[in-house]
Amino acid sequence: MNEPQAKPSSSEEDILKTLKERAAGRLKIYIGSAAGVGKSYQMLLEAQRLRAEGIDVVLGYIETHGRAETAALVGDLEKIPLRQIRYQERVFDEMNLPAILARRPQLVVVDELAHSNIPGTEHPKRYQDVEDILKAGINVISAVNIQHIESLNPYVERLTGVKVRETIPDRVLALASEIINIDLSVEDHRERLRRGKIYPAEKVESALRGFFTPENLAAMREMALREVASKVEYQTEEQRLLREAGPLRRPDRVMVCLGPDHAANVALLRRGARVAGRLNADWFAVTVVRPELAPGMALSPVRKEFLKLERLAEELGAQFRVLEAHSVLDALVSFVEEHGITMALFGKNRHVGWRLRMFKWLTLEFLNHTDGVDVQIVDTAERDISGRH
């Protein structure tokens, strides 16, 4: 079976022009359904092609996983020496962020975007290193598997039974000017695994019975296709709106309205992360409490729940706000006006009786008291944040 081959992007001339002019750092991400689809291989093909075009390309970090075809593509590409970090009596190789910033290439290839750095480096996560590189005006090509997207993480765990520990927030995808899906059929993927192209021989059978079942790979493949398709859809719509409204168009800002149900709030936050990520928008996680019930410094049950929500919201890229007010409606409307909110998400968790009547009243009155705000009602009882409807 032939190795996957990269197809030149239709916008390659624009990319080359941008690189040569050293514009602000741009991010391109190769995304895949699972390990072994050929992301690293494709990045190296592109790096070789761009270098042939006269672009100053370096490898900040590349993981060949012992795959001969991938290793062969490294060739004579310049590699930034890795940093050796000692931690708990062991020595680990980590990407050398200071050396990359000092070298200042036009383009750097950074593999394994969701990687967790060893303590002793500048940041806990590699995607944070990439953000620093982009801020320095250096372009980045990177790669990630779909199961490492934070808002999809619980769905992947339910589907496959595998808990993915390393994730990136959806906002990182929103930074990308281009996302390319490396697609591979389920049977070709499993055949690559059988032939030892992904893992060593002793791990093949357990992998085929575990994460790499036909059902799991099909689901991951569908998720990757959906993610890239939705990114293209939102970019196209954003370009249309910019053309119609011109440069004065108000930037998108999203507000997620949290309620009393903690589990529903978690699902709602993950949906909010996906919506804000697709729009490349700032977003807020907002909850309203009466002043006498506002969480103080003591670690009361209410305070502990708020801390959990705050941590998750910040991990997903939101700004967490607790509004003290006697009127939920007045507090939310005021927040919309003060922060220029353009979209609001409310969670509907199978309300019944007076709770349902209150929910309907709140959302209807919110619509009546705000202008230019899109409202989404999210059925958090479904607990499916995969993007299916």
Contact criterion met (CB below 8 Å) for 385 and 352: no
Higher pLDDT, 304 or 116: 116
* Among 260, 250, 257, 367, CA closest to 321: 257
**Which residue range(s) make up the domain with 204?**
12-237
Average pLDDT estimate for 25-41? 93
Both 278 and 232 in a single domain?
Answer: no
Both 224 and 361 in a single domain?
Answer: no
Tell me if 294 is assigned to some domain: yes
Least confidently predicted of 169-183, 282-296, 372-386? 372-386
Tell me which of 193, 210, 237 is where a domain ends: 237
CATH number of 220's domain: 3.40.50.300
Average pLDDT estimate for 175-203? 91
355 — pLDDT class (breaks 50, 70, 90): confident
Both 232 and 257 in a single domain?
Answer: no
Both 297 and 351 in a single domain?
Answer: yes
The pLDDT of residue 272: 92
Both 322 and 300 in a single domain?
Answer: yes
Tell me which of 237, 268, 296 is where a domain ends: 237
Tell me if 246 is assigned to some domain: no
Model confidence at 297: pLDDT above 50: no
Tell me if 387 is assigned to some domain: no
Tell me if 4 is assigned to some domain: no
Both 126 and 89 in a single domain?
Answer: yes
Distance, CA of 198 to CA of 292 (rounded, Å): 58
Both 268 and 160 in a single domain?
Answer: no
Both 113 and 197 in a single domain?
Answer: yes
Tell me which of 237, 271, 287 is where a domain ends: 237
DSSP 124: S
DSSP 172-232: HHHHEEEEEEE---HHHHHHHHHTTSSS-HHHHHHHHHTTT-HHHHHHHHHHHHHHHHHHH
Tell me if 1 is assigned to some domain: no
Tell me if 244 is assigned to some domain: no
Both 56 and 204 in a single domain?
Answer: yes
Tell me if 342 is assigned to some domain: yes
Distances in whole angstroms, Cα of residue 230 to Cα of each of 111, 119, 200: 23, 35, 35
Distance, CA of 129 to CA of 142 (rounded, Å): 12
- The count of structural domains within the chain is 2
Both 183 and 228 in a single domain?
Answer: yes
Model confidence at 119: pLDDT above 70: yes
Sequence-distant (≥ 6) Cβ neighbours of residue 111 within 8 angstroms: 39, 40, 43, 61, 62, 63, 142, 143
Q: Which residue has tokens 């929103």?
A: 174
What is the SS3 assignment for 118?
A: coil
Model confidence at 14: pLDDT above 80: no
CATH number of 299's domain: 3.40.50.620
% of the chain surpassing 90 pLDDT: 53
Both 255 and 372 in a single domain?
Answer: yes
Least confidently predicted of 127-136, 227-236, 333-342, 372-381? 227-236
Task: Give me 302's structure tokens.
Answer: 């209410």
Distances in whole angstroms, Cα of residue 361 to Cα of each of 24, 110, 364, 368: 47, 50, 5, 10
The pLDDT of residue 82: 96
301 — pLDDT class (breaks 50, 70, 90): low
Average pLDDT estimate for 295-308? 63
Tell me if 53 is assigned to some domain: yes
The pLDDT of residue 23: 54
Both 230 and 263 in a single domain?
Answer: no
Contact criterion met (CB below 8 Å) for 336 and 299: no
